[in-house]
């Protein structure tokens, strides 16, 4: 459950620090990976909690986010060491592969992402969105019927949203909406609302596929297990194979990893080997002469 003011990046080297924005010297922003690897907020169903990330998860390779969230966005963030799974979720035209990741089986269905957003303006929707209405009166209909055209550097034309509903009006000038999309363009939700003349004041990701912050929606488990899986901000846990399969339509697989350190050692030993050369020995004799 990603909290605010945490970036979804392996390093903050390419970002401006919070203190720099304020004109002060100080450390850069915290990354979500730093939180994970430090075991901060880890929730386990076991009595004895492992003290290291590797022992707790069995993962030795690098983690990657499945659909990044910007620093101000909160909610469900999935991390994996399986690059094929990242492509499966973030690319709506992705194809499904066999367990070894090589053989193409069939084209898979897009995985939906659901957000709740507080947007600027007092918006409404007509009772029947299928009928023709003036977009000027109902700007949200642009997102439902046609999508919006973003600058090419941000992905260009978006697809129509899968679902969009108004939940409430927190104030006279704001609207709380629920929006579901299948694409994964950079900051897509924020840019779509900006394109129709609104803006996102607060954004929270509720669900990816059938997974929400309680784990798998409609997943059968005891009350005790259910209470353990309801994550608060900053908490995280390891998903079960069943949750990944039923929630994302993905079969977990073993990924062979060669430790990076051992690879460096092998290369180093190879470089240190000196093979006698005829040219070198000839050069030495010539030099002495």
* Rounded Cα–Cα distance for residues 233 and 8 (Å): 15
| Residue matched to tokens 């977990």 | 252
Exposure of 24 in the CB half-sphere (CA atoms within 13 A)? 6
Q: Which residues contact 285 (CB under 8 A, 6 or more apart)?
A: none
* Rounded Cα–Cα distance for residues 88 and 94 (Å): 5
Catalytic residue list? 70
Among residues 180, 177, 134, 132, which one has the least CA distance to residue 160? 180
Beta pairing, strands 74-75 & 200-208: parallel
Do 136 and 126 meet the contact criterion of CB atoms below 8 Å apart? no
In which region does residue 121 sit, left (phi positive, over 0), alpha (psi from -120 to 50) or beta (all else)? left
Beta pairing, strands 104-107 & 200-208: unpaired
* Rounded Cα–Cα distance for residues 275 and 219 (Å): 63
* Rounded Cα–Cα distance for residues 90 and 86 (Å): 6
């Amino acid at each position: 459950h990603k909290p605010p003011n945490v970036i979804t990046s392996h390093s903050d080297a390419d970002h401006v620090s919070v203190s720099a924005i304020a004109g002060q010297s100080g450390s850069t922003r915290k990354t979500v990976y730093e939180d994970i690897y430090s075991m901060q907020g880890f929730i386990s169903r076991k009595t004895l909690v492992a003290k290291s990330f590797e022992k707790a998860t069995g993962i030795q390779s690098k983690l990657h986010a499945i659909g990044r969230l910007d620093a101000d966005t909160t909610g469900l963030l999935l991390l994996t060491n399986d690059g094929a799974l990242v492509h499966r979720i973030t690319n709506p035209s992705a194809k499904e592969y066999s367990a070894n990741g090589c053989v193409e089986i069939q084209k898979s269905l897009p995985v939906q992402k659901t957000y709740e957003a507080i947007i600027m303006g007092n918006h409404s929707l007509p009772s029947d969105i299928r009928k023709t209405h003036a977009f000027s009166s109902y700007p949200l209909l642009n997102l439902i019927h046609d999508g919006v055209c973003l600058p090419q550097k941000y992905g260009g034309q978006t697809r129509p949203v899968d679902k969009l509903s108004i939940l409430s009006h927190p104030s006279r000038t704001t609207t709380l909406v629920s929006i579901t999309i299948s694409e994964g363009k950079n900051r897509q939700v924020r840019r779509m609302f900006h394109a129709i003349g609104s803006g996102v004041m607060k954004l929270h990701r509720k669900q990816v596929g059938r997974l929400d912050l309680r784990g798998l929606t409609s997943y059968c488990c005891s009350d005790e297990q259910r209470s353990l899986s309801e994550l608060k901000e900053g908490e995280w846990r390891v998903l079960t194979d069943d949750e990944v399969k039923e929630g994302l339509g993905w079969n977990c697989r073993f990924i062979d990893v060669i430790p990076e350190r051992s690879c460096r050692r092998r290369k180093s030993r190879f470089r240190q080997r000196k093979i006698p050369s005829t040219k070198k020995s000839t050069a030495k004799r010539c030099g002495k002469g």
